[in-house]
Amino acid sequence: MITQFAPAKVNLALHVTGQRPDSYHLLDSLVVFAGIGDRVSVSSDDTLSLEVIGADIAEVPSDARNLVLKAARLFDEDKGAKIVLEKNLPTASGIGGGSSDAAAALRALSTLWNLPLPSTDNVLRLGADLPVCMKPEPQRMRGIGEILDPAPVLPRMHMVLANPRVGVTTPSVFGRMTNKINPPLEDIPAKMDAAQFVHWLSRQRNDLEVPAISGLPVIQDVLDALEDIPSCCLARMSGSGATCFGLFETAAQARLAEDTLRAEHQDWWVASGPMLLD
């Protein structure tokens, strides 16, 4: 059995810089991954199958609709495998759960079947987040998700992710945007310490935050709850929501913040972990 971790993808900043004639949106985003996520295990079998396990999987399909099986078929090989997806991340939550699962499945099946990974163009057909999830380390993502550059070395920080357990559809958030041509990210400085990094990041944006909150005001409640924690360096929504993140300098601060949010908001999904740098 081969197992791959499928970490949560977090857009520390997400600028919408335009829209193509084919309606695809142009983005400029600093993407990192958290030590919080799903797991994908694959083993040899005569046929291709998917089993989904976990505590909260009612809305996760195990048939051809699942992105994991769509990804497996990118290999264009008549091969079998038993795929087990352990879901820990909430669905439709702005942290790339499905894309990260699919990317993990591709990495695992490439090893199991001894085949090269599909091309970026083929991977991109499954979604704009797939290419960046293929290599879960800090990256600057531009275009519609196909232009990827390694980010400069970032300081070690810890994250708390919080989701009010309300799904958000990405098209609905983009549909509420009033301005789709915005400035790109500022150049990312090299060798920043935590304070410098937070200062730089505070000058960036998530252009989807305001339209997401206008459709789902509880997102603002999540942001407020994170910002009320004294040790939280910065709080922002990830992707198209509804998951928000808080940045912390130490693991102890993040764990305490996680415990606090869990106690005060027992109906939310909350998790903490390190920001993965390699």
Catalytic residues: 9, 129
Long-range CB contacts (within 8 A, 24+) of 42-45: 42/1, 42/2, 42/3, 42/81, 42/82, 42/83, 42/84, 42/105, 42/108, 42/109, 42/112, 43/1, 43/2, 43/81, 43/82, 43/112, 44/80, 44/81, 44/82, 44/112, 45/80, 45/81, 45/82
Max distance between CA atoms of the chain, in angstroms, equals: 55
Residue recorded with tokens 């920001």: 275
The distance from CA 21 to its chain's CA centroid, rounded to whole angstroms, is: 26
Strand positions, DSSP E, the chain: 2-19, 25-44, 48-53, 81-86, 139-143, 147-150, 158-163, 234-237, 244-248, 269-276
7 vs 100: CA distance, rounded Å: 6
What DSSP character marks residue 203? T
Q: Report d(CA 82, CA 102) in Å as an integer.
A: 14
Tokens of 174: 């983009």
